[in-house]
């Protein structure tokens, strides 16, 4: 601090002292303002040099997301490396056979409807058919044998704006069941798909393919065995993970870049710079239950 002291001598000295005081105070004030501007500009330079996402948060890399998946998805499964390799190969085969082109690095969701497996996997690819597993968790796919129940269709399905997503209302059906899970969870819609119905003569019909959460009290603890009408039921934590980081939001992000707004997008989302658009459903050939994909506790 500057110590401003006025010495009492003569009137002239007092005038000069007072003038010097004013001048010193003025110069000191200018110095503070100048430094404040410099400090402000340096702060702004630092802030804008950080790679922020559109939501104002730092984007997470695939390795970061892998760690985040383990932290936030309590039902995550630990797949052996050789199993991950087999699934990556199956993913490439499915994409190639369907003619689905990868236009660069992106995330993809892969589901295995095998009754002995029943899991969902999130992969990140470099755009050159090399895949890194981000995380895996149990799901429930279609259980045929009852009216209005289908096997979950196999294939590669595009997450497109032609079939807009929506969010669960958290309401219960006539059986007291929250089919889409808790209010606010996202319902990923992949449109109408032709599939053999799981009742009657098994003729093909159109069904709506969706990926969504399920009742947190009556069904989430049963994930790991077929139970749905044909959709893919996923854990709420996986739903939130895909949603918050925009892993399947390629088309949505393209619209946002053009200035469009979509109510379904979270306000706190931290979108990746390499979003994908594909859900791939396969059926592996495992005829027994592997150790790394345990049955739900109630069936053990």
Q: What is the mean pLDDT of residues 166-192?
A: 96
pLDDT tens, 244-265?
999 999 999 999 999 999 999 9
> Given this model, what pLDDT does residue 44 score?
39
- What does the DSSP assignment read for 91-138? HHHHHHHHTPPP-SSEEEEEEE--TTT-EEEEEEE-SSS-EEEEEEEE
User: Across the beta sheet with 166-167, what order do the strands follow?
Assistant: 166-167, 186-196, 204-212, 232-233
Instruction: Work out the pLDDT band at 205, boundaries 50, 70, 90.
Output: very high
pLDDT at 103: 86
CA pair distance 138, 224, nearest whole angstrom: 5
Higher pLDDT, 24 or 96: 96
Contact 104, 81 (CB under 8 A): no
124-144 average pLDDT score: 96
Task: Name, in order, each residue with C-beta under 8 angstroms of 180's C-beta and a sequence gap of 6 or more.
Answer: 168, 169, 170, 187, 212, 213, 214
Residue whose C-alpha is closest to residue 212's, from 189, 233, 183:
233
Q: Is the pTM of this model over 0.85?
A: no
Q: Which long-range contacts (CB under 8 A, 24 or more apart) does 20-24 make?
A: none
Asked if pLDDT for residue 145 goes beyond 60, the answer is yes
Which residues, 6 or more positions from 169, have their beta carbon under 8 angstroms from its beta carbon? 180, 183
Q: Is the pLDDT of residue 59 over 70?
A: yes
Average pLDDT over every residue of 48-68? 71
Mean pLDDT computed over 215-240: 97
Confidence of residue 2 (pLDDT cuts 50, 70, 90): very low
Determine how many CB atoms are found less than 10 A away from the CB of residue 65: 22
Is 70 exceeded by the pLDDT of residue 53? no
């Amino acid at each position: 601090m500057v110590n401003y002291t006025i010495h009492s001598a003569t009137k002239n000295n007092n005038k000069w002292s007072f003038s010097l005081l004013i001048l010193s105070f003025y110069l000191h004030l200018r110095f503070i303002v100048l430094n404040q501007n410099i400090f402000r500009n340096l702060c702004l330079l630092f802030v804008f040099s950080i790679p922020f996402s559109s939501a104002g948060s730092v984007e997470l890399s695939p390795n970061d997301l892998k760690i985040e998946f383990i932290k936030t998805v309590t039902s995550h499964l630990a797949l052996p490396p050789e199993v991950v390799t087999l699934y990556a190969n199956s993913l490439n085969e499915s994409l190639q056979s369907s003619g689905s082109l990868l236009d660069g690095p992106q995330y993809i969701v892969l589901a295995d409807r095998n009754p002995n497996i029943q899991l969902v996997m999130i992969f990140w690819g470099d755009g050159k058919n090399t895949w890194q597993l981000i995380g895996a968790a149990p799901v429930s796919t279609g259980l045929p044998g009852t009216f209005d129940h289908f096997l979950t269709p196999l294939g590669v399905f595009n997450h497109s704006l032609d079939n807009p997503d929506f969010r669960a209302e958290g309401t219960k059906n006539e059986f007291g069941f929250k089919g889409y899970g808790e209010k606010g969870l996202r319902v990923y819609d992949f449109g109408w798909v032709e599939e053999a119905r799981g009742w009657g003569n098994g003729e093909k019909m159109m069904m709506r393919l969706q990926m969504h959460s399920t009742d947190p009290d009556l069904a989430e603890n049963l994930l790991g065995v077929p139970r749905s009408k044909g959709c893919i039921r996923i854990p709420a934590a996986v739903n939130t993970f895909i949603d918050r980081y925009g892993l399947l939001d390629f088309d949505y992000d393209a619209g946002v870049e053009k200035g469009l707004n979509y109510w379904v997008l979270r306000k706190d989302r931290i979108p990746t710079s390499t979003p994908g658009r594909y859900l791939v459903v396969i059926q592996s050939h495992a005829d027994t239950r592997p150790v790394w994909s345990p049955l739900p506790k109630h069936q053990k």
